[in-house]
Amino acid sequence: MRRADRLMQLVQFLRDGTLHRASDLAAATQVSLRTIYRDMETLAASGVPIEGERGIGYRVTAAITLPPLNLTMTEMEALHLGLHAVGQSTDAELSAAARALSSKLDAVMPEDRSRAPSGYGFAIYPFADAARGFQHLPSLRQAVRTRQKLELTLQDETRTVRPLQIDYWGRLWTCVVWCERKAGFDEIRVDQITRMRILPSLFVDEKGKSLRDFNALRQGS
Amino acid sequence: MRRADRLMQLVQFLRDGTLHRASDLAAATQVSLRTIYRDMETLAASGVPIEGERGIGYRVTAAITLPPLNLTMTEMEALHLGLHAVGQSTDAELSAAARALSSKLDAVMPEDRSRAPSGYGFAIYPFADAARGFQHLPSLRQAVRTRQKLELTLQDETRTVRPLQIDYWGRLWTCVVWCERKAGFDEIRVDQITRMRILPSLFVDEKGKSLRDFNALRQGS
DNA sequence: TGGCAACTGACAAGTTTTTGTCACTAAATT
DNA sequence: AATTTAGTGACAAAAACTTGTCAGTTGCCA
C-alpha cells in the first residue's frame, strides 16, 4: 500500500499552509513529477481542499477534513440539536457557522423514501415541531428497552401499544408499535404524541406481533 | 474498478435489513465464497456497519454514515460548543451520545497525532469516484423530495429519469431511478453523472414505476 | 517576450492487488 | 451429535493498478 502512504504524506506536507511546488514534493517523496500531478488529482477528487496555481504552486485552502464517520441515530440527533442551539447564539459568526454546518449535514444525510411516511421530508418539517415530541423520547426509549406497554394519546385518540423500535430520519423521530386496539402495526410520529404513560404491564414477543414480523411485512408489501 | 462495483452491489443487497448468507451473496455477485468473506472484511473496515453471525448470516446494523466533510475552524468550534451544550442535557442517553460523538471528533482532529491510517478513505482505496459526485447531491435530493424529473448525462449519454431514492453505501452514492427511455429501473452512480438538470415536470407513482415495484423486483431476483 | 510551473495524454514496464482453491476452525441452532 | 454458516491461512495465477518517460499545452508574471 505504498501509494496510500504517499498520499497521506503529501497531505502532511501541505497541511502547513505554505506553498509547495510539485517538483519539491516529488523530490521529498522520491517519485516522478508526473506521479505528483496524478496524486494531486486523486487528493482533490477525494475531497482534500487542495488548490494548484499555475506558475505558483500548491496549497491547501480549508482547515479541517473529517474522515467518514459512523453515527448512531442518537448521536445524529445530538448533533442536530447542538447545532440548532448554537445557531440561536448571539455571536453572529458562530451562529452562521452552525447554520452552515447544519446545511452541510442535511445535504449528506441518507434519505430513504420507501421508509418515510410519504408526504413530509425532514427538510420541510420545522424543527420546533420535532422538538416538541422530544420530551417523550427518554421514557419511550426506556419502554422499548424494558418492554413495557404504553398508553399514548395522539390527536385526541388514546390507545394502548407495544413500543418496538425507535427510528430517526434526519429530524423526525418515529416509533414502530403494535397497537392493541387495531390489532396491527403502526408507525407513530413521536412529535405528535400529546400524552404518554408507561403502563406497568410488560409484553413478550408473540407470533405476528414482534418486530421481526413487522420487518417481514414491510419487506413483503 | 470491478471490485468497488461489487462492494457497492453488496451493500445494496444488505441494505434491506434482512439476513443474507454469504453463499447467496456469492451466487448473486458471481464470485467465490472466500471473496465474499474478504469483501465483508473490507466493508467493515471501511466503516459500513455490517454484522456477521455464525450459523446465521449477515445484516447491516442501522446507522448513519457521514461522508468526509471539510469544516472551517468556526464550524468546528460551533460543533464542539453545540455538543457540549447537549452533553449537559437532562436526557441521559442523549447527553451520553453527545459526549461519545465529541470523543469521536477529538479522535480524528488534526491535533491528534495518533490518527488511525484507516481513518482516511484513500488508505483502503481511493474514493475519488464517490467524492466527484458530491456536487450533484443537494439538487438530486431536492428532486427526490419534490418528485421532479431529471435530465442527466452519464458517459455522453443523456436520459430523462424519475429519481426515486438516494443511497449512500459508505463510499459511493447511488440513485435509484426509473428511466423513461429504457422504460425500466436503473441504479445510477452519482459520481458518474457529468451533467444534471432538474426538469419542471413532476411525476407521480405509477404501477410498475414506483420505488415499491423496484424493491419487489430486487427481492424477487 | 521569456521563464516558470501547473497540467495533460499515451503507453509499456513494473508492481500490487484480487481471486479461487483447498483445508481447515468456530460459534450457534436443531 | 449433526448441521449450518461465518471466518482463517496459504499460495499461485490472473487481473488491475501505478509509475516513469516523453512530448506536448496552458496560464501567470516580470
> What's the pLDDT tens digit per position in B104-158?
776 555 433 223 333 333 333 334 444 455 567 667 777 887 889 999 888 778 8
Indicate the fold that domain B2-60 takes in CATH.
Arc Repressor Mutant, subunit A (1.10.10)
Q: What is the share, in percent, of chain A residues with pLDDT greater than 90?
A: 8
| CA→C1' distance for A103 and D26 (Å) | 37
Query: Domain B129-220 falls in which CATH fold?
Result: SH3 type barrels. (2.30.30)
| pLDDT exceeds cutoff 70 at A119 | no
Beta-carbon pairs below 8 A across chains A and B = 209
Q: What pLDDT is recorded for position B108?
A: 55
CB B58 within 8 A of CB B17: no
Classify the phi-psi angles of A72: left when phi > 0, otherwise alpha if psi is within -120 to 50, otherwise beta: beta
What residue has cell string 496510500?
A: A4
- Any atom of strand D under 7 A from CB of A35? yes
**And the C-alpha cell for A117?**
411516511
Is strand C within 7 Å of residue B4 (CB)? no
Residue A165 has pLDDT above 50, yes or no: yes
Residue with the bigger pLDDT between B183 and B63: it is B183
For A120, nearest residue in chain B (alpha carbons): B145
Instruction: Give Dmax (Cα) for chain B.
Output: 56
In this structure, the dihedral spanned by the alpha carbons of residues B204, B206, B210 and B213, taken in order and rounded to 10 degrees, is 170
Q: CA B42 to CA B60: how far, in whole Å?
A: 14
* Residue B61 pLDDT: 67
- Nucleotide D18: closest residue by CA–C1': A3
- B219 or A156, higher pLDDT: A156
Torsion sign over Cα B20, B172, A172, A141: positive
* pLDDT score for A151: 92
- A78 vs B74, B98, B137: nearest CB: B98
Phi, psi values for residue B201, rounded to 5° = -75, 135
The half-sphere exposure of B178 on its side-chain side, counting CA atoms within 13 A, is 22
User: Please, which residues have CB within 8 angstroms of residue A53's CB and are 6 or more apart in sequence?
Assistant: none
Residue B40 has pLDDT above 80, yes or no: yes
What integer best gives the mean pLDDT of chain A?
72
Domain ranges in chain B are 2-60, 73-119, 129-220
Looking at A205-219, B16-30, B62-76, B79-93, which range is the least confident one? B62-76
| Nearest-CA residue relative to C1' of D4 | B55
Q: Do domains A2-60 and A130-220 have the same CATH topology?
A: no
A73–B71 C-beta distance less than 8 A: no
pLDDT recorded at residue A107 = 63
- Evaluate if residue B168 carries a pLDDT over 80: no
Kindly determine whether the C-beta of residue B30 is less than 7 Å away from any atom of nucleic acid strand D: no
For residue range A43-81, list pLDDT tens digits in order.
776 666 777 888 788 877 655 666 666 677 778 778 877
Q: For B169-206, write each residue's pLDDT tens digit.
A: 544 567 889 999 999 998 887 777 878 899 999 998 88
Average of per-residue pLDDT across A107-131: 36
Q: Which residue of B has its CA nearest to A63?
A: B72
Q: Which residues of A touch B141 (CB under 8 A)?
A: 107, 111
Classify domain A130-220 by CATH architecture. Answer: Roll (2.30)
Which residue has 441504479 as its cell numbers? Answer: B187
Sign of the four-CA dihedral A220, A170, A131, A117: negative
Would you say A201 and A161 are in contact if contact means Cβ atoms under 8 Å apart?
A: no
pLDDT band per the 50, 70, 90 thresholds, residue A142: confident
Q: Do B70 and A79 touch (CB under 8 A)?
A: no
For B24, list phi and psi in degrees, rounded to 5.
Answer: -65, -45
pLDDT of residue A118: 24
**Would you call A52 helix, strand, or coil by DSSP?**
strand
CA distance A58 to B172: 27
pLDDT at A192: 73
Query: pLDDT confidence of B162, banded at 50, 70, 90?
Result: very high
In which band, very low, low, confident or very high, does the pLDDT at B161 lie, cut at 50, 70 and 90? very high
Q: Of A175, A117, A108, whose CA–CA distance to A141 is shortest?
A: A175
B34 touches strand C (CB under 7 A): yes
pLDDT at A93: 67
Quick one: CA torsion of B117, B120, B122, B126, rounded to 10 degrees?
Answer: 160
Question: Whats the size of chain B, residue-wise?
Answer: 221
